[in-house]
Amino acid sequence: MTDRKTLTASPVVEWPTLIFLLGTYAIWAFGTTLLYAFSPVLAVLLTGVAVAQFSSLQHEVLHGHPFRWRWLNEALVFPALALTVPFGRFRDTHLAHHHDPILTDPYDDPESNFMDPKVWDRLPAWARVLLRMNNSLLGRITLGPVIGNLLWLRSEFRLLLAGAPGVRRDWALHLGGLGLLALWIVPAEMGFGAYLVAAYIGHGLLKIRTFLEHRAHEAARARTVIIEDRGPLSWLFLNNNLHAVHHCHPNVPWYRLPAVLASNRDHYLRRNEGYLYRSYAEVFRTYLLRVKDPVPHPLLPVRRSAEEAADCGLTDVA
């Protein structure tokens, strides 16, 4: 058992994260070059997996890994492999999302998949159909990359026009990252068309993780899921399927999250009121063709309780 200081301490270099990052770049490079010349279909699939893994590693970076120096961490993930999300915007919106009292709020939570019922009522019928389909797992994987990116880019465009602080800077840096990507893809075996398909696959894989991370619930502490999966998807998502544990301890590196959960599992399940799935196989069986949540938020206005959200039980964690 360890105390708060031990839990939050980190080495100068977190080697598991750095090794994963280097391996992801190697797989991505192999998929876009040598493998594509041998099997374009396999190369696109593998590159899509690498794009999803890269996004998971960007998530680690924005939480302060694998080094203690922010500038070095962010330099490691500067290339824009996922195409549409500037790292700086991912960082800022995701850290805002980590204010647990606002979780699922369609206005204040940047990662909410819910909508204000009043806005929902004004949508045309075809839009409601698409958004309902997007709330099944199959819909989220196949339609989600288009729907999510269109909504994201529309929101970012409005912020750019409004001159929101930091947004133009982050998009300018992102253009530099896209330039690095272009320098690689232009002479590589894989062209831009095939790479767009790979990036789409990467975005679709990430939608599996985000599909049920949060639910509408009166208690902020009970809005975040635990999926006790230890298979390939948990590696792809760097244990972010243990999402309630991550929200309690956002600075703990991915490779320590399973031990943190195991050290006090009953506490975390009491805290999130049993919002639990045993595996991603269970998630697929339950929601592949079934809508999990309504699109309009069922509990607006969202209840905010900073006290209960902050009570994560940082002591007695192994």
Give per-residue pLDDT as tens, 125-168: 999 999 999 999 999 999 999 999 999 999 999 999 999 999 99
Q: Give the largest Cα separation in the chain, rounded.
A: 56
Is the pLDDT at 317 greater than 50? The verdict is no
**Is 316 within the bounds of a domain?**
no
pLDDT at position 157, please? 97
Is the pLDDT at 116 greater than 50? The verdict is yes
Is the pLDDT at 4 greater than 60? The verdict is no
> Cα separation of 64 and 248, whole Å?
15
Q: Which amino acid is at 318?
A: A
pLDDT at position 313, please? 63
> Cβ(225)–Cβ(212) under 8 Å?
yes
**Least confident interval from 8-12, 50-54, 199-203:** 8-12
Query: Residue 79: CA atoms inside 13 Å, Cβ hemisphere, count?
Result: 16
pLDDT at position 8, please? 54
Q: How many CB atoms lie within 10 A of CB 4?
A: 12
Residue with tokens 């994260």: 17
What are the tens digits of pLDDT across the range 229-259?
999 999 999 999 999 999 999 999 999 999 9
Note the pTM of the prediction, 2 decimals: 0.93
pLDDT at position 304, please? 83
**Is 317 within the bounds of a domain?**
no
pLDDT at position 315, please? 45
Q: Which amino acid is at 202?
A: G
Is the pLDDT at 11 greater than 90? The verdict is no
**Is 41 within the bounds of a domain?**
yes
> Cα separation of 35 and 40, whole Å?
7
263-275 average pLDDT score: 97
**Is 186 within the bounds of a domain?**
yes
pLDDT at position 1, please? 40
What are φ and ψ of residue 225, in 5° steps?
Answer: -85, 160
> Cα separation of 38 and 85, whole Å?
30
> Cα separation of 173 and 115, whole Å?
31
What 3-state class would DSSP assign to 317?
A: strand
User: What residues contact 6, with CB distance under 8 A and at least 6 apart?
Assistant: none
Number of folded domains that form the chain: 1
> Cβ(46)–Cβ(199) under 8 Å?
no
**Is 151 within the bounds of a domain?**
yes
DSSP string, 226-274: EE---SHHHHHTTTTTSHHHHHHSTTS-GGGHHHHHHHTHHHHHHHTTT
Is the pLDDT at 3 greater than 90? The verdict is no
Tokens (6 digits) for 246: 């991550």
What 3-state class would DSSP assign to 302?
A: coil
Burial of 211 (0-12, 13-18, 19+ CB in 10 A): buried
Q: What is the mean pLDDT of the chain?
A: 94
**Is 125 within the bounds of a domain?**
yes
| Residue among 290, 114, 306 nearest 213 (CA) | 114
Is the pLDDT at 48 greater than 90? The verdict is yes
Q: Identify the domain containing residue 191 by its residue range.
A: 4-310
Burial of 242 (0-12, 13-18, 19+ CB in 10 A): buried
**Is 315 within the bounds of a domain?**
no
pLDDT at position 208, please? 98
Burial of 278 (0-12, 13-18, 19+ CB in 10 A): exposed
**Is 223 within the bounds of a domain?**
yes
pLDDT at position 306, please? 65
Tokens (6 digits) for 104: 């699922």
